[in-house]
Structure 1
Amino acid sequence: MSGPRPGAAALVEAAVRRGLTIATAESLTGGALAAAVVDVPGASGCFEGAVVSYSNRVKTEVLGVPAALLAERGSVDPDVAAAMAEGARRVLGTDWAVATTGVAGPEPHDGRPVGTVFLGLAGPRGATAVELQATGDRAAVRAATVAAALERLTAAILLPDNSQ
């Protein structure tokens, strides 16, 4: 490894400075987001853990994503991303959690084209999700997703009303 990603370092610094704990719930990133965070020296001051929920069974049984939601819409969905983040926050007991789900390729999935990504974010006031459109091959989609997730969680933590 070539050292921590700048986005991960900013996230860890912000969370530690504010005394907040964080977690991840990952599908398409398969643990790469958690790995980026723990590459940062001092990550133990804020990072509680991760759930890699590549299968829908794990999304349901561990994170509490409603099985009916997954059956109706599939895993590449904003409500699934939000539920994943909320589940990670609950299961791991953190202030904040971010979740990744989407289509890295090489083939479309759940009727969604390659590059469709949803990031879920859960914090003290509930959970939300945003859609991203990433380009490139499988590795590029996953890397863009990790970078966007780091940025989104950092921005949420830095909002003025998140200090404790």
Structure 2
Amino acid sequence: MDRERFEDFREKIEAADFEAGIPAEYQTIPQDTVNMLLLHSKTITAAESVTAGLFQSTIADVPGASEIYEGGYITYSDKMKEKLLRIPNGIIDTHTVVSAPVAQEMAESTAKLLDKDIGMGVTGVAGPEQLEGNRVGTVFIGVYDKDTDVVEVKEFHFEGSRNAIRRKAVISAFVLVQRIA
């Protein structure tokens, strides 16, 4: 997906209604992503904060996913990000936990620690209140590619309930994986 198409996707998903679940137009994205990873024989892992395992659960819902996915991390607290992912406390203190540098560290760390081709990291604020100056709906998603040793991080500003924000973050993460892999 080129930059222009991605920006169009970002605008649409940020405004989309995910209150009742994932809208039909987005429902095949997880399956398409897993199929693409299977086709290219690429493995994936994730480090999740705001989505609390929803991304990994969605991967596991896809038949055949066990060929490309073995597990990952749910690091809801700063302490778990530091302990499990080995993210230096200074990065979190300097940038806040809801930031591009933290999403980048999460994506890269999970892939390297678990020796996988693709690492996805997601951090954000689902509400009900803002966190460290970040408004509800602010989400950073990073995707690391072992082949290029590059992390792409995108910032989103989702609207909706906690669950709608989390669902939008998951679908957006799958789209970012497709861009990288």
TM-score w.r.t. length of structure 1: 0.90
Matched, 1:148 2:166: no
Aligned-partner residue type, residue 26 of structure 1: E
Q: Where do residues 12-23 of structure 1 align in structure 2 (5 Å cutoff)?
A: 12-23=34-45
Gaps of 5+ in 1: 158-164
After superposition, the CA RMSD in angstroms is: 1.0
**Alignment partners' CA distance in 1, 2:95 and 2:41:** 37
1:126 and 2:153 aligned: no
Q: Which residue of 2 aligns with 1:72?
A: 94
SS at match of 2:57: helix
The amino acid of 1:24's aligned partner reads A
Q: In 1, are the aligned partners of 2:95 and 2:101 still within 8 Å (CA)?
A: no
How far apart are 1:126 and its partner, in Å?
A: 2.3
How many angstroms does 1:117 deviate by?
Answer: 0.4
The amino acid that maps onto 1:126 is: V
TM-score computed with the length of structure 2 as normaliser: 0.82
Q: Residue type matched to 1:69 in 2?
A: I
Give how far 1:129 is off: 1.1
CA–CA distance in structure 1, aligned partners of residues 57 and 97 of structure 2:
22
Amino acid at match of 2:152: T
Any conservation in 1 of the 2:48–2:122 contact (CA below 8 Å)?
A: yes
Q: How many pairs were matched up?
A: 153
**Aligned pair partner of 1:35 in 57, 60, 63:** 57
Q: Paired residue for 1:135?
A: 159
- Give 1:102 deviation, angstroms: 0.4
Gaps of 5+ in 2: 1-26
Q: Find the residue that maps to 2:170 and give its secondary structure.
A: helix
4+ residue runs over 2 A deviation? none
Higher share in strand: 1
Deviations 1:87-108 (A, max 9, x none): 1101111000111100000100
Could you say what secondary structure the match of 2:63 adopts? coil
Which moved further from structure 2: 119-128 or 141-150?
A: 119-128
Note if contact 1:48-1:94 (Cα within 8 Å) is conserved in structure 2. no
Q: 2:48 aligns with which of 15, 22, 26?
A: 26
What whole-Å deviation, never above 9, does each CA across 1:66-100 have from its counterpart, x for those lacking one?
11011122210000000000111011110001111
